[in-house]
A and B are shown apart, each in its own frame.
Chain A
Amino acid sequence: MDLSAVAFYLFSILIIGSAAIMVFSKNIVHSAFALMFTLAGLAAFYALLYAGFVAVTQLLVYVGGILVLILFGVMLTTRGYFEKVRTRTVNLLPSTIFAGIIGMLLIAVFVTTKWAMNPMEDGEVTMTGLGELLLTDFMLPFQVAGVLLLLAIIGAVLMAARSHPPQQKAGSNPQNAGRSPSGEPPES
């Protein structure tokens, strides 16, 4: 049992354990932090699979960007203090059975299929190769991804900037005063 096998089992325990904590935790802040450990463990998996650049990108974009966005979302959409940050779980038994069946089927298909194997040597994928591929074969997706990111930034800024607080709406339009499902204005 060499070092890569030990690392594989350690990181798989980390990934699956923290993903389970993320799914089953009642506190959404705990879920977000468990997601951080899952994403960091996946970055270690990418490094084990000789994909160093993907691992670094995963750490930068997911752990440094998306997770911070999610935490901002959690903190901006919760009222009061953090001991009240609870979320509901519905249909736990049927959905667990459904997800378990899907997972079993996937594992059965993955294990029984004879995959065409062509193992990669260490050092076969370099940053130089990735960069050259990005500017030759993947030129069009690269440019389209740039345009997509620009559109996403503009769209997110526009959507987040023109939001109206509900108490203004309720004050200007008395019909909608009782519409708020929580029954109380979110902020005073």
Chain B
Amino acid sequence: MVLPEWLAEPGLNHFLVVSAILFSLGLLAVISRRNIIMVLMGIELILNSANLNFVAFSRYGLLSIDGHMIALFVIIIAAAEAAVALAIVLNIYNRFGSVDVEQISELKD
């Protein structure tokens, strides 16, 4: 079986295409789901697709070891964001009794 050349050897474009598909799936989760935690998971997916781009460009492009450092900082900030966001979600659940983003429409009582 003879494979075409673009299929046989994964290059930069292959990783970029995977990252674009991940980005659009994360965007779909953010804009179509109504549970706050699903929206958070979509944001994590988007951050991971950006991270994959950084690492792929540092492997194949001009962004050498700096891409790895930026990816590490993105992971750190995603961890901080997830901790704070989960605390906010727990507060919202205690106050409104729901995690549906359409029912959370009041800033104060």
CB atoms of A133 and B69 under 8 A apart:
yes
- Interface on chain B toward A: helix, strand, loop, or mixed SS? helix
- Chain A contact residue count (CB 8 A cutoff): 95
Closest 4 CB pairs of A and B: A103-B24, A152-B80, A106-B20, A87-B35
A contact residues around B31 at 8 Å (CB): 91, 95, 98-99
CB atoms of B97 and A185 under 8 A apart:
yes
With A and B bound together, what is the CA distance between A58 and B80 in angstroms? 14
With A and B bound together, what is the CA distance between A87 and B73 in angstroms? 32
With A and B bound together, what is the CA distance between A125 and B51 in angstroms? 17
A-B contact pairs, 15 of them (CB 8 A): A23-B33, A61-B76, A69-B82, A73-B89, A87-B34, A98-B31, A99-B25, A118-B61, A145-B77, A149-B76, A163-B94, A164-B94, A164-B95, A181-B97, A186-B93
CB atoms of B14 and A20 under 8 A apart:
no
With A and B bound together, what is the CA distance between A179 and B29 in angstroms? 29
CB atoms of B32 and A42 under 8 A apart:
no
Query: Given A87-B34, A115-B61, is A155 in contact with B84 using a C-beta cutoff of 8 Å?
Result: yes
Interface residues, chain B, with chain A CB atoms under 8 Å away: 3, 8-10, 12-18, 20-29, 31-35, 37-38, 40-42, 44-45, 48, 51-52, 55-62, 64-65, 68-69, 71-73, 75-84, 86-91, 93-100, 102-103, 109
Apart from the given pairs A45-B52, A54-B55, A133-B65, 10 other A-B contacts in the complex at a CB distance below 8 Å:
A15-B22, A45-B15, A48-B10, A49-B15, A77-B93, A110-B20, A115-B57, A166-B97, A181-B103, A186-B94
Query: Given A119-B59, A145-B73, A156-B83, is A32 in contact with B41 using a C-beta cutoff of 8 Å?
Result: yes
B16, B41, B75: which has the most chain A beta carbons within 10 Å?
A: B41
Q: Could you count the A-B residue pairs with CB atoms below 8 Å apart for me: how many are there? A: 266
With A and B bound together, what is the CA distance between A45 and B81 in angstroms? 23
CB atoms of A152 and B84 under 8 A apart:
yes
B contact residues around A125 at 8 Å (CB): 58, 64-65, 68
Interface residues, chain A, with chain B CB atoms under 8 Å away: 1-2, 4-5, 8-9, 12, 15-16, 19-20, 22-23, 28, 31-32, 35, 38-39, 42, 45-46, 48-51, 53-54, 57-58, 61-62, 65-66, 69-70, 72-74, 76-77, 87-92, 95-96, 98-100, 102-103, 106-107, 110-111, 115-120, 124-125, 129-130, 133-134, 138, 141, 145, 148-149, 151-153, 155-157, 159-160, 163-166, 176, 179-182, 184-186
| Among B16, B69, B91, contact of A134 (Cβ-Cβ < 8 Å) | B69
A contact residues around B34 at 8 Å (CB): 87-90
| Among A9, A12, A49, A153, contact of B83 (Cβ-Cβ < 8 Å) | A153
